[in-house]
Amino acid sequence: MKKTSTRLADGRELLYYDSRGDAERDAVDHRPLDAVTTTAEIRHDVLLRDSVAIASHRQDRTYHPPADECPLCPSREGSPSEIPAADYEVVVFENRFPSLAGDAGRCEVVCFTSDHDASFADLTEEQAGLVLGAWTDRTAELAGLPQVKQVFCFENRGAEIGVTLGHPHGQIYGYPFITPRTELMLRSLASHRARTGRNLFDDVVAREREEGVRVVLEGEHWIAFVPYAAHWPFEVHLHPRRRVPDLRDLGDAARTEFPQIYLELLRRFDRIFGTGEPPTPYIAAWHQAPFEGEERDAFGLHLELFTIRRTSGKLKFLAGSESGMSVFINDVPPEAAARRLREVASK
């Protein structure tokens, strides 16, 4: 993998990731852009003990542009975009409308492919491996920023999720704090170890392998299963068989196998509801250990993949119980979801 760093017209960093070592990247961004100004601010909720990003400048971000004005497609004559090059493999750049900025963290955009009409599931294994390389590299780079305590790589897909740009892309957040979800997992880890002397992530994976009924697919280095207490109608957790705290610690064999496993999962998601249905909306979220803390080495890197579609033509809304009290009600038994995901395996 070759990484080439450059700057956009307003000073934001842009990085090309290429599979070929001889790739040349010298295109210049000639757009007349003003310097990025943000209002990003972190406020602490004293009752819930969590943090909220206040970012009013995001009200002006690009919203459902026509395909020929997509800011994530390669630039062409008369239609400059966020990527000055005429083509690319994988690109990462600082978000023009970040939720987190400066001392409040960092937000980046990851473009998985230059093909506007593709999705992650359409990538080849080589292309998906290059994206994994970019995620890993960005985790390592952001770990060096003093204001960043945790890195979150994720993809939102589908208008139902709230995606405002249709081009296949994801984001990377460098949080200036440990997120509430991770804090809760860390507390659970410490409590489980104090009670049993064992690692909770190891025990969860061991239970799913032993019971088998919720396992969706398993490779030599990865296992994917619907969790016992799944929150979402179709939700899969993907764990490396050898527990590691973050993407930087994956071994070569796990990196090689990841594209095979992950692409198969995404393709199954698109077949859950049968032919004729629009692409399944989903969120794919990497959970990585924070960079500091006693429980870092005990944390288990994993990816959570879930959809808000509960059946054909119907969405799972976060209504009173979920939004008001954080108590999820799932209409699809996890065992039934796992069975369906096994039924739609590639032939």
Please give the Cα distance from 144 to 150 (Å, whole number): 11
Question: 169 catalytic, yes or no?
Answer: yes
CATH class of 2-175: alpha beta
Average pLDDT, the chain: 94
Q: What is the pLDDT of residue 78?
A: 87
Q: Please tell me which residue in 44, 116, 167, 169 is annotated as part of the active site.
A: 169
Whether the per-residue pLDDT at 71 is higher than 70: the answer is: yes
- In the chain, % of residues over pLDDT 90: 87
> CA–CA distance from 136 to each of 99, 113, 211, 255 (Å)?
21, 17, 32, 10
Q: Where in the chain is the domain with CATH 3.30.428.10?
A: 2-175, 180-343
In total, the chain counts a number of residues equal to: 347
Q: What is the mean pLDDT of residues 207-221?
A: 97
Relative to beta strand 215-218, strand 309-311 is unpaired
Burial string for 179-201 (b: 16+ CB within 10 Å, else e) reads beebbebbeebeebeeeeeebbb
* Closest-CA residue to 172 (of 66, 99, 264): 99
Q: What is the mean pLDDT of residues 313-320?
A: 93
Q: Which two tokens stand for residue 77?
A: 């004559």
How does residue 204 score in pLDDT terms, banded at 50, 70 and 90? Answer: very high
The CATH classification of domain 180-343, taken from the options 3.30.428.10, 3.30.1180.20, 3.90.1150.10, 1.10.3720.10: 3.30.428.10
